[in-house]
């Protein structure tokens, strides 16, 4: 954290706020148990689809048009760069033999921002397209407004640009879709993303903190010690609706993030900041949108928390996290009412 000038209060505030809102996760998990009709909900049931496949399908050309409509609140200048990315052969779209899986945005300081996709005609691919385009436009703004020495950006701010685009797409869908089944799918897509990013990555961060502190105190880090802490931590996060015990206590052994530097908390802070910023872009003032574009142009010209303050999110305070949890609760309320109806 010190390398990027991130004050420890950013991490401490995240842990405090997430723990004070675990009741929302418990409520969502209990709703899952009810929908699936299970007497003993296991952790693998967290990944079972709840709403089936939606009626939303897009080929690549249709997805580009839908993405531009959704991202319109970001303004004409932003859309100009989106249009360039979509129409100048900088996206490797289709799957092919020996092509790497997944998706990413890359390039160098003096090149276009290139994207790799593995396109399927579904809503997941549309979300991936706006996510990676968020990275690409962030890169374009940074490289064209900063000298080479500041022409990149740390992970702390990188995922905010991409996830803000995802949140703006969700806002667009919820503003335009009236079919109850499709709305339920979009709402659940957001709730699962929130669960898997803000809650789960904070859980990971707490485990990392325990490991480092135990090591610093000279405590032996045996498999039994790690199993016990991780199992108890998982139970605290997911609540009484999940059957206690089982092999989930060993999950720590397969999570690669724990073997890197201390960074997973940034996925959680980034997701929360993106939720707050998307609300400002879509429902706020032109000045708030311009402040967001200013963040995209900043690169690494200042410490990331200072850049985010100028964008409208002070990550040393709990406000942005509280905004995110309000959005989660609002969408959980609607999802529950749709299912009851």
Domain spans of the chain, in order of start: 1-55+137-341
The sign one gets for the Cα dihedral 51, 197, 131, 269 is positive
Ordered alpha helix ranges (H), the chain: 8-20, 22-36, 60-70, 76-87, 123-145, 155-176, 180-194, 200-216, 223-238, 265-283, 286-296, 304-311, 319-340
Number of neighbours of residue 18 by Cβ within 10 angstroms: 25
pTM: 0.93
303 Cβ neighbours under 8 A, 6+ residues apart: 4, 5, 6
Helix 319-340 and helix 265-283: axis angle, to 10°? 80
Residue 56 has a pLDDT of 85
Residue 260 has a pLDDT of 86
Residue 51 has a pLDDT of 86
- The C-alpha atoms of residue 117 and residue 335 are separated, in whole angstroms, by 30
- The C-alpha atoms of residue 321 and residue 325 are separated, in whole angstroms, by 6
- The C-alpha atoms of residue 310 and residue 308 are separated, in whole angstroms, by 5
pLDDT tens by residue, 40-63: 999 999 998 888 777 789 999 999
Query: Which of 297, 195, 198 lies closest to 242, judged by CA?
Result: 195
Q: Is 106 left (phi over 0), alpha (psi -120 to 50) or beta?
A: beta
Whether 207 contacts 15, CB under 8 Å: no
Distance (Å) of CA 218 to CA 206, 207, 211, 214 = 18, 17, 11, 6
pLDDT tens by residue, 65-98: 999 999 999 999 999 999 999 999 999 999 999 9
Query: Which of 201, 202, 169, 199 lies closest to 186, judged by CA?
Result: 169
For 209, phi then psi, to 5°, come to -60, -45
The residue assigned the tokens 């406000």 is 319
Residue 49 has a pLDDT of 85
Q: Residues of the chain whose pLDDT is less than 70?
A: none
Give the active site residue among 17, 66, 115, 132.
132
Whether 18 contacts 268, CB under 8 Å: yes
Catalytic site includes residue 288: no
Class of domain 1-55+137-341: mainly alpha
């Amino acid at each position: 954290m010190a390398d990027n000038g991130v004050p420890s209060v950013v991490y401490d505030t995240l842990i405090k706020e997430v723990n004070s809102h675990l009741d929302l996760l418990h409520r969502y998990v209990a709703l899952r148990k009810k929908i699936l009709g299970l007497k003993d909900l296991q952790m693998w049931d967290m990944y079972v689809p709840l709403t089936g496949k939606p009626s939303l399908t897009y080929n690549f050309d249709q997805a580009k048009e839908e993405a531009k409509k959704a991202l319109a609140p970001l303004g004409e200048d932003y859309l100009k760069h989106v249009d360039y990315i979509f129409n100048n052969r900088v996206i490797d779209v289709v799957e092919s033999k020996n092509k790497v899986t997944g998706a990413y945005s890359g390039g160098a300081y003096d090149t276009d921002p290139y994207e790799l996709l593995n396109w399927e005609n579904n809503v997941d691919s549309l979300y991936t397209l706006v996510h990676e385009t968020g990275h690409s436009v962030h890169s374009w703004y940074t490289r064209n407004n900063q000298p080479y020495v500041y022409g990149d950006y740390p992970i702390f701010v990188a995922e905010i640009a991409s996830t803000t685009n995802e949140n703006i797409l969700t806002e667009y869908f919820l503003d335009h879709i009236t079919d109850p089944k499709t709305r339920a799918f979009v709402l659940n897509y957001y709730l699962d993303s929130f669960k898997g990013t803000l809650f789960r990555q904070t859980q990971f961060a707490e485990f990392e903190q325990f490991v480092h502190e135990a090591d610093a105190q000279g405590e032996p880090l045996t498999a039994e010690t790690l199993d016990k802490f991780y199992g108890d931590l998982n139970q605290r996060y997911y609540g009484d609706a999940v059957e206690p015990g089982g092999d989930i206590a060993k999950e720590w052994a397969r999570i690669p993030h724990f073997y890197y530097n201390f960074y997973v908390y940034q996925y959680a802070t980034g997701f929360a900041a993106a939720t707050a910023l998307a609300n400002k872009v879509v429902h706020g003032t032109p000045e708030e949108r311009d402040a967001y574009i200013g963040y995209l142009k900043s690169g690494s010209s200042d410490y990331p928390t200072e850049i985010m303050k100028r964008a409208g999110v002070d990550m040393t305070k709990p406000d942005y996290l509280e905004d995110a949890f309000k959005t989660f609760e609002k969408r959980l309320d609607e999802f529950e009412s749709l299912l009851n109806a």
